[in-house]
Amino acid sequence: MDNQHSPAIFVADETGLDFLNSVATPVDVPVDWIGDGEGLLRWLEQAGLVPAAAAAIVRDRATPGELDVVADQARQLREWFRGYVEERRGRPLTADDLADLKPLNRLLERDESFNQIVARDHDGQVHLEMQASRHWRGPEALLQPIGTALARLVCEEDFTHIKACEGHSCTLMFADHTRRRSRRWCSMAVCGNRAKQAAHRSRHRP
């Protein structure tokens, strides 16, 4: 797969699903944005899951090849969770679906997150606020914000509203948050437009 440095796709309206969409075929060539360690760091920064300063710390501490190993673990996590979502999207989750989440819970057990009190300026007024943070002791810590995003998807999103794009050969998924749950495409500018063009050609075909 072509591992391009172009910006990743964020159309799912849900970070956990955007992670699943980190491998896609936006035009004709498959792209895996986390194909290697540097790709994983770029994707996490673009997704807003890892601050640039933390990414720099992890990069400096990583031994040769260590980031690539973690990227491989991220891809395995992605494909395992894709299967979980594909099997259940379109219906609400129940207690019976918890047993299959053991791999995700094992990942969450290793998290080293904590809260800190920080000062923030809001229109000239300084307020003290709680801010979530975590220790970035090594590259494996990069999996933790991903695990948190997947856990939030499971606990906060109605799986009834998770859909796959109807575009031909499109693999992207999204959470349909439209008022009438009528969203059909990952993007109207891409797959939606292609479908319109195909329908137009079909109507005018001799």
| pLDDT surpassing 90 at residue 30 | no
29: in domain: yes
Whether residue 163 contacts residue 88, with contact meaning beta carbons closer than 8 Å, is answered with no
184: exposed, middle or buried (C-beta count within 10 Å: 0-12, 13-18, 19+)?
middle
Per-residue model confidence as pLDDT tens digits over 162-205: 999 998 888 899 999 999 999 999 988 778 676 565 554 555 56
8: in domain: no
Number of domains within the chain: 1
- Mean pLDDT value across residues 108-112: 96
- Kindly report the CATH number assigned to the domain that includes residue 113: 1.10.3300.10
182: in domain: yes
Six token digits for residue 188: 């109207």
2: in domain: no
How much is the pLDDT for 172? 93
98: in domain: yes
How much is the pLDDT for 6? 83
133: in domain: yes
Rounded CA-CA distance 86/26 in Å is 20
Range of the domain at 76: 15-203
Per-residue model confidence as pLDDT tens digits over 40-68: 999 999 999 999 999 999 999 999 999 99
For helices 102-109 and 66-88, angle between their N-to-C axes, nearest 10 degrees: 140
